[in-house]
A and B are shown apart, each in its own frame.
Chain A
Amino acid sequence: MKQLVCISRTPETTANIALNGDGTDIQTDGLNYILNPYDEWYALVRALELKEAQGGTVTVINVGGAENDIVIRKALAIGADDAIRVDAQPSSAMAVAKMIADATKDGAYDIVYCGKESIDYNGSMTASMLAEYLGLPFVSYASHMDVSGNTATIKRDIEGGTETVEVPTPFVLSAAKGLAEQRIPNMRGIMMAKRKPINVVSPGEAKNNAVVSMYELPKGKGDIKMIDPDNMEELVRLLKEEAKVL
């Protein structure tokens, strides 16, 4: 089985995000980056589990500059066999999906994985767009998957329960929590990863149909107001007029 896992680089979960002066971009100085957890913990690890059970290969692909090599190397240290890096800055979900599709359309992959979202922009768009570009079926938010022969049985968490779908290979899925458990790379994996290839390819043509005009950070939390326990009228007034919860 040939499997492809799309991985992205995101600021670490505890990063303090700041914007530039006019709010059109994020300040990247001093930010530490990680491999997007949905791509790493769930998509990549499930692909590796299937490879261990059924054989085959796991390739990872990323769109980005050489600064992304360290997160690609981490994916190789966890166990991916090889990597493709499309040498372009990821400007939008559509552009990334198009570039991945162009770079892999002849790869004959049986299962193509994305994380359900990247933890920075939370778009949840790349996987479905990629499926469209590749002309493949798409299953979103997969939290469990078994593969038998050419058929995958996938559970999806839906409101109030789960949905089970069957899909023939090849297909694209987006991975949610539950699909697999995090694996920590060991030192041997890290050293082996140094010898695994990262194939850098030029991007195909891609355009952005939607552009970001500006970002805003959430407003700071308001001060706590202490109300005298005997002054219930004031409490009710504030809940009504300021908090607007009554």
Chain B
Amino acid sequence: MARTDQYEGHDYYGVDALLSEDHLLARDAVRAWVKQEVSPIIEEYSERAECPKQLFKGLAEIGAYGPSLPVEYGGGGMDEIAYGVIMQELERGDSGVRSMASVQGSLVMYPIYRFGSEEQKRKYLPKLGSGEFIGCFGLTEPDHGSNPGGMITRYEDDGDHVILNGAKLWITNSPVADIAVVWAKGPDGKIRGLIVEKGMKGFTAPEIHGKWSLRASITGELVFEDVRVPKSNILPEVAGLKGPLSCLSKARYGIAWGAIGAALDCYDSALRYSKERIQFDKPIAGFQLTQKKLAEMITEITKAQLLAWRLGTLANEGKASPAQISMAKRNNVHMALEIAREARQIHGGMGITNEYPVMRHMMNLETVLTYEGTHDIHLLITGMDVTGINAFK
């Protein structure tokens, strides 16, 4: 039996006053959509470790794929803060649902828009924007996660085509994807992006099972065995790691906002529960140790909201640096995970059940903490940025 989603937003510092009319309308629309389409089903799908595939179309209809890309290419023509608040509301529902949308928008549509030929943009972007095509992004390999530059997936020249060999791992959406944007080394040793289509001979995308996190999001591998890819499917406008890294900056930016949504849902649930749960003849919200948890939660959420808003303003001006995005992603995801843990304690035993969203958020956030750049690697990015010294190797 699906419970009623009683979520209310929390805005302790009046950050809403910094948002425009269309940001607020976008947020309310996505919140309404999540309450209608996600909340009633997400616990069951998570429990069954099944991806609610019907949401792919719904996410397209609401406009969650590439909202900040131009309308003519299937996007929404909105700004970066609008993109952020949309991701926040989706992740308020579930990190897996947010992942479905951020992969499609930031990791598939964005590289084709930014680095693709006009023909590639016309061919793929409108269909990705409308949800007719689902995309995935292949960078991480079994032996190359934090060190993507060491990748071994490569292609060789073959006339009008290239021959692609290798494997990618931990790829969100891959088993259901119609296309994959795959990063591979060419004969010159440089990394380029290729659009690999489902059905190309030698290309398979098996599903990964047994995840205890992001259970409502489908994850898989990409396996390439002598796959012949037309040269016209290579993204012409970029070579080198900066191609995939610029996509990751876009996605990490969305995660910095999204994590606030998960944190808000946990805080909202904990606040309500603590006022209803009576122990020693009074609500547990009346005890100092519960208040300490709640006060620290809203303090950290407020700081994260301000960080995300400022980052969004910089992004709108084209001034958000990858290092600034790393700081926000790292801080906000860690903040959300800590809040999920504290919220779980406030819920007591109920907190480990699917009657409440906190355990699901907590398990999801364990993934979000290390995907799209691990918590530790983002720390080293900040470290390198402030010292000028590379401590990665």
Contacts and interface: CB of A to CB of B under 8 A. Distances in A.
Interface of A: 14, 69-70, 73-74, 77, 182, 184-188, 190-191, 193-194
Given A70-B24, A73-B25, A187 B33 contact: no
A83 B339 CA distance: 43
B22 A184 contact: no
Contacts of B36: 184
Contact of B62 (A69, A73, A184, A194): A184
Contact of B25 (A14, A182, A185): A185
Contact of B78 (A14, A70, A191): A191
A190 B77 CA distance: 10
Contact of B71 (A74, A188, A190): A188
A194 B62 CA distance: 17
Nearest to A194: B22
Please list the 10 inter-chain residue pairs (A to B) with the smallest Cβ-Cβ separation, ordered nearest first. Answer: A187-B63, A187-B76, A186-B63, A190-B25, A184-B32, A185-B29, A187-B67, A186-B62, A184-B33, A191-B77
B32 A191 contact: no
Contact of A187 (B8, B21, B26): B26
Interface of B: 8, 21-22, 24-26, 28-29, 32-33, 36, 61-64, 67, 71, 76-78, 82, 86
A184 B33 CA distance: 7
A186 B29 contact: yes
Contacts of B67: 187
A185 B63 CA distance: 9
Contact of A190 (B22, B32, B33, B61): B22
Contact of B29 (A14, A69, A70, A184): A184
Contacts of B64: 187
B63 A74 contact: no
A184 B71 CA distance: 19
Given A69-B21, A74-B25, A186-B62, A191 B33 contact: no
A188 B76 contact: yes
Contacts of B71: 188, 191
Contacts of A185: 25, 29
Contacts of A69: 21
Given A70-B21, A188-B77, A190-B78, 17 more contacts: A14-B8, A69-B21, A70-B25, A184-B32, A184-B33, A185-B25, A186-B61, A186-B62, A186-B63, A187-B63, A188-B71, A190-B25, A190-B29, A190-B63, A191-B22, A193-B25, A194-B22
A201 B291 CA distance: 50
B62 A187 contact: yes
A191 B76 contact: yes
A185 B29 CA distance: 6
A31 B68 CA distance: 30
Contacts of A14: 8
A73 B24 CA distance: 11
B6 to A, nearest CB: 8
Contacts of B61: 186
Nearest to B24: A70
20 contacts: A70-B25, A73-B25, A74-B28, A77-B25, A184-B33, A184-B62, A185-B25, A185-B29, A186-B29, A187-B62, A187-B63, A187-B64, A187-B67, A188-B77, A190-B26, A190-B63, A190-B78, A191-B71, A191-B76, A194-B22
Looking at A188, A190, A191, the one whose CB has the most chain B CB atoms below 10 A away is A190
